[in-house]
Structure 1
Amino acid sequence: MVTIPFFVLNILLFLSSSAATPESGADHDLVRSSCVHASYPSLCFRTLSSYSGPANTPRELAQAAVKVSLSRARKVSNYLSTSVTGYNKRERVALSDCVEQIDESMEELSKTLGELKHLRGETFEFQMSNAQTWVSAALTNEDTCLDGFEGVDGKVKSNVKRKITNVAKVTSNALYMINRLNESRGRHR
């Protein structure tokens, strides 16, 4: 039986554990290089570098960005749905309209995610156009939600504005990732 000196064993263990680091470093580098020109680069990096699913390619990164946006929109919709009662009529109407807008955004983002998951070479441009249109529509819905609070003052408006603005920022970053994916595909033909 061959015995390996303890210090050699430690060196081998260190080297084998550090060999796994470049892969995660490469993922981190993809996120960093992809987010650098996003509308909200630090938010992009923070949300996508902490994303738990696969994000090893520009396509997976675009999907991750849409999933982040969809998740945040879902949380805001749930928050707004439970907050509709207890305010004056004007606030209730604005909140109710906003829930509808965010629900439409979630629908658009879900369609986008489905399209990104099933990209095909022969229909790539059409699918990317759909994805870009749907994410743009989601952004418009988010803006429309905020427009409904014109003339409303106070805590309700500021809470909704803060939450919707956050969703709009991650949605804007998702659109950037989709545009980036579309452009990178065009360069590799």
Structure 2
Amino acid sequence: MRRKLHRTPLLTLLAAGLLAITGAMTPSGAHGPSRQKITLTTEVPASPADVWAVIGNFQDMSWHPAVFSTTGEGGNNIDATRVVTLGKEGGPTISEVLYKYSAEKMSYSYRITDVKVEVLPVTNYSSHLTVKPGKDGGSLIEWRGAFYRGYPNNDPPENLNDEAAIAAVSAVYQAGLDALSERFAKK
């Protein structure tokens, strides 16, 4: 008498084992950093055209109090570059590239191509700066960004974790928006 093998339970067992093994090796089994997003805004009592005249030139960040100088190439054309020097001559730098620009929509988008995490604790950073009509002929200035923390692996040090990245980018945006609020305050 020949015995008939029951393949179904064996195949089920093999499939479950393979699933358990491969599941442990897939990204869903690991936990890494999440992309962070922030948006800060401020309203100023100046026309959008007046505000855009100050912030709309990608090559000029003199309106931001942390910026010592900005140098670059390409004007406001896509793929234009700039190097922002912070604080003082010879201070830390951030290199950026423009990837969207619309004078009509009063908006531009850029990404960081080079920065030390000691200067800004982020990686894979992109940002958008926009001026929109606000209340009573004023303007709404919106600065938003998306980025990963400065330490891409698990268990980041405190100075390179998500909270540090969010705090640093928020501080940069808030300082710029505060300077613009002060500049355009009704006198």
TM-score (norm 1): 0.28
Q: Quick check: which has more Rg, 1 or 2?
A: 2
Structure with greater strand percent: 2
